[in-house]
Amino acid sequence: MKNTEEIQRKGKLIDSLPAVTFEYSFFVSGIRDFVYISPRCEKMFGLTQTEILSGELSMQSYIHPQDWPRFRISIIEKSKNFDHSDWRWEGRVKVPQGYLWIEAIASGEVLNDGTITWVGIIHDIGHRKQVEQRQCEMEQRLELALKGADLGLWDYNYQTNETELNKQWSKILGYDHEELLGMQKTYEDFIHPDDLHEYTRIMTTHRLSKSDSFSCAYRFKIKNGAWRWVLEKGQIVERDTQGNPIRSVGIIQDFEEHKIKEKAVQESEERYRQLVDHIPMGVSILQDGKVKYINKYGINLLADGQTDEVLGKPFMRFIAPENEQLTTERVARVLAGEEVSAIEQIFVCLNGQHRIVEALAMPFRYGGKPAVQSIFRDVTDQKKAETEKRKSETLFSQLFHVSPMAIAMLDDQGKVQQVNEGFEAMFGYSSTDLQGKSLNEFIVPENLESEGNDLNTLISSQQVVRIETVRLHRDGHILSVIIYGMPIMIEGVAIGIFGVYVDITEQKKTEEELKTRNAELDNFVYKVSHDLRAPLSSVRGLVNLAKLPENKDDPAEYLTMIGRKVDQLDHFITDVLSHSKNLKMDLRIEPIDFKNLIDQTFTDLNYLKGADEIMRSLTIEGETFMSDRWRIGEIFRNLISNAIKYRNFRKPDPEIIIEIRVTEKMAFIKFSDNGIGIQPESMEKIFHMFYRASEQSDGSGLGLYIVKNAVEKLGGHLDVKSTYGEGTTFTFELPNRSV
């Protein structure tokens, strides 16, 4: 029992390993198959134990076609020449996602019946293979780069005193690779005697770790016995914990052509001097820290033509303090054979002026010794001009990009080069959307296409234009704009167009609203005059009638009639004042008690004829509502008043139904009556000033006009539906100002 538990425990342990364990047998009958495989096979291969152990799939079906021959030969050879050593194989096997790199390791055993059984494990080595592949690709790329650059590569081990060389080194020196490897210990015997001392000094300094890197040019005896100049560079790349060098790597390149050129330059030094004395840039030769040669341009720049003040003097006296360290480093690098790029630096002239120069330094041989050739050009005036240009460009760029107006820059064909942020804000198009395209295709309405083309033609013909028109936003809505167009000129030729767009949409709306308000004012003055004079005329007529001597009428009837006219006049004045107050008064936000406000409104309107006949229904639900109490009251006063005035006399049960639902953000109000309704042809006019839709009313005609304006002042929305003879429903959405 204890052995059984031990076996089960070990089995669970094996199954939990991060690898697949297996037993694979070669039976005497010739059959080969798995007799055991751990459950991890399903996670690694996507196949269950049952699927693999069923024997339905051949071993070949698991393995990549390119790896199958190698696998087959490996396992068969190992089985034929069985020697109890481990069998190892790497290859790709099929998985649901494609193929997986694995490594299989197994130990073999021959059973009594002649069966050979292999017990082992399978590892996922996909990541390792990816790393190996990347390393191989990097090595190949490095070899190609070295070959393309015609560079030899060496790797020196300080501990073993051995050097590894690539084949390009052999090609440069003309020896076979094996032959060159055999020359490592006698390498210095092949260096030209005149160069050996400097080579030995540089290499000793480097190997003693006094210099992390080195560069040395020398002559080497190549295969045919001739001397060839080579340039060798090296760098320590690995040290031990005490800081001692372990490895250096470096390159060698053919330097013969460079030396030939150097010699040619040296031989033509005199001709060179004659030439450079007349070129419009400074040329100098620096050696041992002094100016050994300088042409006329340089002397004039540094010392106003005084040769003695420059020639033979330390060149650092002409270098600005802030450039001294950089100049020292560059001179050292050039003397070491390096090529350095051109830089800008500051020269201090003899007269104290600081001049900005563009300087280039390169190795040079002067008098048979290393020197530095410096070529420089005074760019002070150019830099000032560039600074001014950059300043202008910066000012233009800032003006262009931060301008609140929309600006478009077009080429001479009318194609968009750039638009600013103001343009994107105004029209919804960015530079990316429009670049290289015709602006007219995007913002010019179809009916104004010819105007857009004519405008481009006018501007490109060097005319500055101003036009007031309309353009399209990206979302399709119309913008009223003023366009200022002007050509971009260079030497009298138009190379592009600037278009500046000023959005006057709100201004236009204001103008239109002003026209509407003026029209309303004219109408208002007329109607107010008419509606004020009409009751007064009636009162005057009644007074005159009462004064007639022969008039026997009861004066009390006249007073009643006069009272009604005064009431009518008072109601009209109240509506006019409400309209004026709604236009001028700021919003005053406070909690609204709808029930109290509506009850009070019914009480205030109880004097209206028929008010006591109205049945009312009020439903209120939801959150606390915050708004302008006076304007809310005006809305309900006018709606309730109209519902009473325009009740249907044919219906025995005139009714007003008010439903109010308040949310955190909005109030939804539905006001319905079963009155006489509104005729369809009057629906578009009912909110106009002084419009009366029915002869049944003697009101001012301002009621619904006041309602509409009050809703707009509150930032809400109003909708109305009516069936003539059945009734009318007003629906409101008003913002809850508590949000």
Give the 3-state DSSP-derived string for 497-518, with helices as H, strands as E and coil as C: EEEEEEECHHHHHHHHHHHHHH
For residue 204, the model assigns a pLDDT of 83
- In 3D space, the residue among 25, 221, 208, 12 whose CA is nearest the CA of residue 120 turns out to be 25
Q: How far apart are CA 521 and CA 516, in angstroms?
A: 8
For residue 657, the model assigns a pLDDT of 93
Q: Which two tokens stand for residue 241?
A: 């914990």
CB crowding 283-302: b at 16 or more within 10 Å, else e: bbbbbeeebbbbbebbbebb
In contact, 440 and 427? CB cutoff 8 Å: no
Q: Which one-letter amino acid corresponds to residue 396? A: F
- Considering just the CA atoms, what is the radius of gyration of the chain in Å? 51
Domain 268-383, CATH: 3.30.450.20
The DSSP annotation for 104-168 comes to: EEEEEEE-TTS-EEEEEEEEE-HHHHHHHHHHHHHHHHHHHHHHHTTEEEEEEETTTTEEEE-HH
Q: How far apart are CA 231 and CA 220, in angstroms?
A: 10
The gap from C-alpha 289 to its chain's centroid, in whole angstroms, comes to 52
Longest dimension (CA), the chain: 158
Q: Which two tokens stand for residue 457?
A: 């033609």
Q: How far apart are CA 417 and CA 694, in angstroms?
A: 62
For residue 702, the model assigns a pLDDT of 66
Identify the residue whose tokens are 């060839």: 228
Q: What are phi and psi of 372, to 5 degrees?
A: -120, 125
Q: What are phi and psi of 566, to 5 degrees?
A: -65, -40
Identify the residue whose tokens are 């009638």: 545
Domain 585-735, CATH: 3.30.565.10
For 132-260, the fitting CATH number among 3.90.380.10, 2.30.30.50, 1.10.490.20, 3.30.450.20 is 3.30.450.20
Q: How many residues does the chain have?
A: 739
The answer to whether the predicted template modeling score (pTM) of the entire model surpasses 0.75 is: no
CATH 3.30.565.10 domain extents, the chain: 585-735
CATH 3.30.450.20 domain extents, the chain: 2-124, 132-260, 268-383, 403-503
Q: What are phi and psi of 630, to 5 degrees?
A: -65, -45
Identify the residue whose tokens are 């007349």: 278
Task: List, for the chain, all residue ranges whose pLDDT scores fall below the cut of 70.
Answer: 1-17, 135-150, 209-211, 265-273, 454-462, 516-547, 552-585, 687, 689-703, 738-739
Identify the residue whose tokens are 């339905």: 56
Q: What is the DSSP letter of 289?
A: T
Q: How far apart are CA 77 and CA 26, in angstroms?
A: 13
Top CATH class of 2-124 equals alpha beta
For residue 526, the model assigns a pLDDT of 44
How wide is the angle at C-alpha 686 spanned by C-alphas 681 and 690, nearest 5°? 120
Q: Which two tokens stand for residue 379?
A: 């760019």
> Helix (H, G, I), strand (E, B), or coil: what is residue 568?
helix
Q: How far apart are CA 355 and CA 638, in angstroms?
A: 85
Question: Does domain 403-503 correspond to CATH entry 2.30.30.30?
Answer: no
Identify the residue whose tokens are 């090609």: 171
Q: Which one-letter amino acid corresponds to residue 496? A: G
Q: What is the DSSP letter of 701?
A: S
Q: What are phi and psi of 465, to 5 degrees?
A: -125, 155
For residue 288, the model assigns a pLDDT of 92
Q: How far apart are CA 691 and CA 78, in angstroms?
A: 109
Q: What are phi and psi of 264, to 5 degrees?
A: -65, -40
- In 3D space, the residue among 651, 670, 650, 652 whose CA is nearest the CA of residue 660 turns out to be 670
Beta partners for residue 364, in sequence order:
371
> Helix (H, G, I), strand (E, B), or coil: what is residue 681?
helix
Q: Return the H-helix or E-strand segment holding 472.
A: strand 465-472
For residue 390, the model assigns a pLDDT of 82
Q: What are phi and psi of 327, to 5 degrees?
A: -65, -45
